[in-house]
Chain A
Amino acid sequence: MSTELHHNPAVVGAGSATALLRFATAGSVDDGKSTLVGRLLHDSKSVLTDQLEAVTHASLKRGQDAPDLALLTDGLRAEREQGITIDVAYRYFATARRRFILADTPGHVQYTRNMVTGASTAELAVVLVDARNGVVEQTRRHAAVAALLRVPHLVLAVNKMDLVDYAEPVFAAIAAEFSGYAASLGVPDVAAIPISALAGDNVVEPSAHMDWYGGPTLLEHLETVPVGTDPSAEPVRFPVQYVIRPQSGEHRDYRGYAGQLASGVLRAGDPVTVLPSGLTTTVAGIDVLGKDTGIAYAPQSVTVRLTDDIDVSRGDLISGGTPVEPTQDVTATVSHLNERPLAVGDRVLLKHTTRTVRAIVKAIPYAIDIDTLEHIDNPGTLRVNDIGRVVLRTAEPLALDPYATNRRTGSFLLIDPADGTTLTAGMAGESF
C-alpha cells in the first residue's frame, strides 16, 4: 500500500469525490503531541511557506535555533506565551485519498472537557504515549473519554521509539497493556503503531528502524480506516429544525420540514411517527437542497414533505423503524464543562437535537474516577472536568435514544437559564 504523497495531494482528488475523516489527538503534556501534529502537517505538505516562515521568525524571537512546530498549532497569544495548548484547535489537511479535520485537544488533566469536546465529533482518536513511560494515568483517562464518547476507532501511538532503541518488546508490552484496558472499556477497534514523531518514523514515512513492525504508518491508517456507519442499518431519526412554507405563487401549498437526518435512510412512501405527539403519517416526498430525490440518508440536510397536514414544528422528531419512547425522566452519563458546579436540585435548560426544555437535576448517583473507573457515590455536585451519572426530570417529554446506539439523538447539553452558559455535556443511557 502506497503512502506516497503528491506535492499537491488534494488536486488529485479534485475531480472525484473524496471522503472526510474527523479525528482527535490526545496525549499528556510531554508526550510530543504538538510534535506529532506538526510532523503530520509538515510531512503531508500541509504547512505552507509563509506559515513556516512565521513560525521560524517567532522561534528565533524566543531564542530557539530551530523552528518550533508546536507554534503552528498554538494560535492564541496566551498559548504562545505559556508554551501550552489551552483550547481545542481544528486543523485541516488532505492527501490524495482523504480530507482530514483534526481536533487538536490539550493534554492537561484540567482540560478533560476539551478532550470531550474534540472527541464528540471524532470518528477516530489517537492516544499518544511515551515509550519510556508506557501506559500512565493520563493514557487511561484519554482511552476512557474516547470510549465514553463512543469514538468508533482508537489508535495507540507509542511515541519516542527512538529513545528505547526501537525495541519491539517495549512496544509489544505497552500495546498489550493498552489493548487489555481498552477491551475492559468495550472499545472494539484498537490499532497500535510504534512511532517517533521527532525522527519521523511511521508517521507518514515507514520507519527504517523497525523492520519487525508490519503494519501501516499512522497516516496510512488514517487514510484507510472505514469512515462513517452504514445508515441503512439504523432506524430513521429526523429532528425537525425549521418549517419551510414559501407561500409564493409557484409554491403556494409547499410545506416542508427541514433538518439533518441523524440516522437511517428515508424514502418517499415510508410510514413515520412524529414525536412526541405520536401521530403517524407517510413521507410524500424528499427534497435534497432544491431537488426532489425521493430518498435521503444520514447525515444529509434535507426537506421532508408529509402526506397528512398534521401539527409538526421545530423540536419534533420524525421517526421510522424501531420507535423511541418519549420520556420526562432522563438518566445519563455527563461530563461537566463549567467552573460553576452542577448540584442536585439545580434548574437548567436541556438542549436535545432541535428542542430545548426546562429540567431539574433530581439526583447525582455517582461520579466516576476516570483513572480507575471506580464510582464515588452521591457526590452531591459535579465540578468542572468531572464525569458522573445524573438523573433529570424534564418539563416536556423528549425522544431520546441511548447514546450507545445514536450519538446524535442520544446527546444533549445542559445550559444555565440565567446567562445561557453551556454547563454540561450529556449522554443518555448506560455508559461503558
Chain B
Amino acid sequence: MTATTAAEFVTPGEYSHPFALSHLDALEAEAVHIFREVAGEFERPVILFSGGKDSIVMLHLALKAFWPAPVPFALLHVDTGHNFPEVLAYRDRTVAEHGLRLHVASVQEFIDSGRLRERPDGLRNPLQTVPLLAGIESGRFDAVFGGGRRDEEKARAKERVFSLRDEFGAWDPRRQRPELWSLYNGRHSPGEHVRVFPLSNWTELDVWQYIEREEIDLPAIYYAHEREVFTRNGMWLTAGEWGGPKPGETVERRLVRYRTVGDMSCTGAVDSDAATVADVITEVAASRLTERGATRADDKMSEAAMEDRKREGYF
C-alpha cells in the first residue's frame, strides 16, 4: 500500500488549535481504533467483502491499521451468483495482492442444493442472509465486519458500532447495548457473534472524499461507461443471463455508472458522465436522491424493509 500523509493541517480560523483533525482524519482514526479493538478482543474476526466501495474502504483502513503487519482477518464474500464480473475480478485481484484468505458463501450453491428457493421476482439480495449465517457458523467467526453506514437507511441509523447478534444472527433493536464514549463491549456467548461497523459515522460523500485522498482503486463500474441496460421498476438494470430483459423490456445502450455494488437483479445504474473520482464527488454532492433510494430495489419493498431483513440476520 502507499504511505499516506499525516493529518491535513488547514487554515487558521477553521480550527481553534493547530493540532485539530480534519473530518476525514477524525473518521479514519475512529475506524482504525475499531479495527484494532476487534483484533485485540476477538478470536476469529472476518471482514465481509463484496467488492463494493464501502468494503474496499474498510479493507484499506484495515491495511493501514496493522501496517507493517498483514491484516489479521480473513475476508468473507457472499456470492449471490449474479455478481458483476468486473467486481469478482477486482475481488480476486485484491485477495492475491494482499495475501488474504477468502471465504465464499454462495447463494447459487444453496439454491442448487435445495436449501434456498429462487424468488418469483428474481431478487437475490434477500436470499443472502441464509448463506451468510451458514458461512459465519461454519467459519466459527465471532466478529463480522460490515461496511454498513448509518446514513444509508433509517434502521441503520439506529445500529450500534458493535452490534450483538444471537445464535440466529438476529438483531433486536430494542435490546441493543448502550454504547458510550469509545468503550465498545464485544462480550458474547458461544454461538453468538458481533457485527462491527467501522464506517458507521461515514457518509457516502466521506467515503468518496477518502477514496480521492487515498487514491483507492475501485471496480470500473463506479465510473461512467456505456452499458447495455433495460428499465424495470424505474431502475436501469444490466442485461444479462441472470434474468433480464424479459419480454416487453427493451435493451438500450446508455452512459451510466453505479452508486452501489450489489446483486445485478436489484442494483440499478444511474445516468452519469462522471468519469473520475472528482466528477463523482461533484455528482454525489449535488444529487437529490440517496444512494439506496436511487439504486436499490430491495429497500423499496416496504417502509421497514431494512429493519425486517436485519432482524433476520442481514448485514
Q: Which residue of chain A has the shortest Cβ distance to B175 in the bound complex? A: A421
Q: For the complex, is A288 an interface residue (Cβ under 8 Å from B)?
A: yes
A170, CB-defined interface residue at 8 Å:
no
Distance A229 CA – B17 CA, assembled complex (angstroms): 8
Q: Is A83 an interface residue (CB 8 A)?
A: no
Residues on A with beta carbons closer than 8 Å to the beta carbon of B155: 75-76
Separation in Å of the B169 CB from the closest CB of chain A?
17
Residue of B nearest to A77 (CB): B304
Decide yes or no: A337 and B178 within 8 Å by CB, A230-B17, A291-B6 being known contacts: yes
Q: How many angstroms from the CA of A130 to the CA of B156 in the assembled complex?
A: 31
A301 in contact with B201 (CB, 8 Å): no
Q: Is A422 an interface residue (CB 8 A)?
A: yes
By Cβ-Cβ distance, the 6 closest A-B pairs, closest first, are: A420-B187, A17-B22, A50-B293, A75-B154, A11-B285, A226-B16
Query: Is A133's CB within 8 Å of the partner chain B?
Result: no
Judge whether B122 is part of the interface by a CB distance below 8 angstroms.
no
Within 8 A of A (CB), among B1-38: 1-8, 10-11, 14-30, 32-33, 36-37
Q: A251-B68, A354-B37, A411-B180 are in contact. Are A50 and B185 (CB under 8 A)?
A: no
Which A residues, 216 to 233, have Cβ-Cβ distances below 8 Å to chain B?
226-232
Residues of chain B within 8 A of A73, CB atoms compared: 154
Q: Indicate if the CB atoms of A19 and B290 lie closer than 8 Å.
A: no
Bound-state CA distance A88–B304 (Å) is: 18
Q: State whether B19 touches A297 (Cβ < 8 A).
A: yes
Given contacts A11-B286, A260-B182, A299-B26, contact A289 B16 (CB under 8 A): no
As a 0/1 sequence over residues 268 to 287 of chain B, the CB contacts with chain A under 8 angstroms (1 = contact) are 00000000000001100111
* B200 contacts chain A at the CB level, 8 A cutoff: yes
One of B19, B153, B189, B205 near A230 (C-beta < 8 A)? B19
Majority-rule SS of A interface residues = mixed
Q: Name the segment of A91-99, A201-209, A389-397 touching the other chain.
A: A91-99
Interface of B is mostly: loop
Which residue of B18, B32, B177, B285 is within 8 Å of A289 (Cβ)? B32
What mask results when residues 313 to 339 of chain A are scored 1 for a CB within 8 Å of chain B, else 0?
010000000000000000000000100
Expressed in whole angstroms, the Cα–Cα distance for A176 and B3 within the complex equals: 53
B61 to chain A, nearest CB (A): 9
Q: With A19-B20, A87-B158, A241-B37 as given contacts, are A407 and B181 in contact (CB-CB < 8 Å)?
A: yes
The segment out of A110-118, A155-163, A180-188, A269-277 that lies at the interface is A110-118
Q: Does A80 contact B (CB under 8 A)?
A: yes
A230 with B40: CB separation less than 8 A: no
Contact check, B288 vs A420: say whether CB atoms are below 8 A apart. no
Residues of A within 8 A of B179 (CB): 117, 422
Interface-side segment among A138-146, A242-250, A359-367, A372-380: A242-250
Whether A419 and B70, one on each chain, are in contact in the complex, defined by CB atoms closer than 8 angstroms, is: no
Question: Given A228-B17, A289-B67: A412 and B33 within 8 A (CB)?
Answer: no
Known: A75-B154, A89-B158. A227 touches B16 (CB 8 A): yes
Interface residues in chain B, defined as those with a beta carbon under 8 Å from any beta carbon in chain A: 1-8, 10-11, 14-30, 32-33, 36-37, 39-40, 64-70, 150-151, 153-158, 164, 173-174, 176-183, 185, 187-189, 200-201, 203, 205-206, 209, 281-282, 285-290, 293-294, 303-304, 307
The distance from the CB of B298 to the nearest CB of chain A, in whole angstroms, is: 14
Report if A16-B307 is in contact (Cβ < 8 Å); known contacts: A90-B200, A232-B19, A425-B180: no
B33 proximity list for chain A (CB < 8 A): 241, 259-260, 301
* Chain B residues within 8 Å of A94, by CB: 203, 205
Residues of A within 8 A of B40 (CB): 241-242, 314, 354
A29 interface residue, CB < 8 Å from B? no
A422 to B18 alpha-carbon distance, docked (Å): 37
Q: How far is the CB of B81 from chain A (nearest CB, A)?
A: 28
CB-CB nearest in chain B for A226: B16
- Whether A301 touches B4, Cβ cut-off 8 Å, given contacts A11-B286, A94-B205, A244-B69, is no
- A7: which B residues are within 8 A, CB to CB? 286
Given A10-B285, A421-B177, A422-B177, CB of A415 within 8 Å of CB of B185:
yes
- Checking B2, B36, B286 against A301 with a beta-carbon cut-off of 8 angstroms, the contacting residue is B36
Within 8 A of B (CB), among A65-104: 72-78, 80, 86-92, 94, 97-99, 101
Is B10 within 8 A of A101, CB to CB? Answer: no
Residues of B within 8 A of A351 (CB): 183, 185
| Residues of the B chain whose Cβ atoms lie less than 8 Å from the Cβ of A50 | 289-290, 293-294
Q: In the complex, what distance in Å separates the CA atom of A259 from the CA atom of B236?
A: 45
A362 to chain B, nearest CB (A): 22
A51 at the B interface (CB under 8 A): yes
Interchain CB contact under 8 A, A232 and B157: no
A89 nearest CB neighbor, chain B only: B157
Q: Are B189 and A420 in contact (CB under 8 A)?
A: yes
**A-side contacts of B178, CB under 8 Å:** 113-114, 116-117, 337, 422, 425
Q: Is the CB of A291 within 8 A of B303?
A: no
Task: Evaluate contact between B154 and A20: CB separation under 8 angstroms.
Answer: no
Q: Are A246 and B4 in contact (CB under 8 A)?
A: no
Apart from A89-B150, A116-B180, A301-B29, what 12 extra A-B contacts exist at CB < 8 Å?
A76-B155, A227-B15, A228-B21, A232-B19, A258-B36, A258-B66, A260-B36, A290-B67, A291-B5, A299-B21, A420-B187, A422-B185
The residue from B4, B23, B200, B294 contacting A18, defined by CB atoms under 8 A apart: B23
**Which residues does chain B contribute within 8 Å of A113, judged by CB atoms?**
178
Bound-complex Cα distance A230 to B15 (A): 10
Bound-state Cα–Cα, A117 to B182, Å: 11
A287 on the interface (CB 8 Å rule)?
Answer: yes
Partner of A420, one of B20, B23, B69, B185: B185
CA distance A337 to B23 in the complex (A): 30
In the complex the two chains form, is B22's CB within 8 Å of A248's CB? Answer: no
Query: Is B28 within 8 A of A289, CB to CB?
Result: yes
The complex places the Cα of A296 from the Cα of B196 at a distance, in Å, of 26
User: When the two chains form their complex, are residues A291 and B4 in contact, meaning their CB atoms are under 8 A apart?
Assistant: yes
A-B contact pairs, 9 of them (CB 8 A): A19-B15, A19-B20, A51-B293, A92-B150, A241-B40, A244-B67, A288-B6, A298-B19, A301-B36
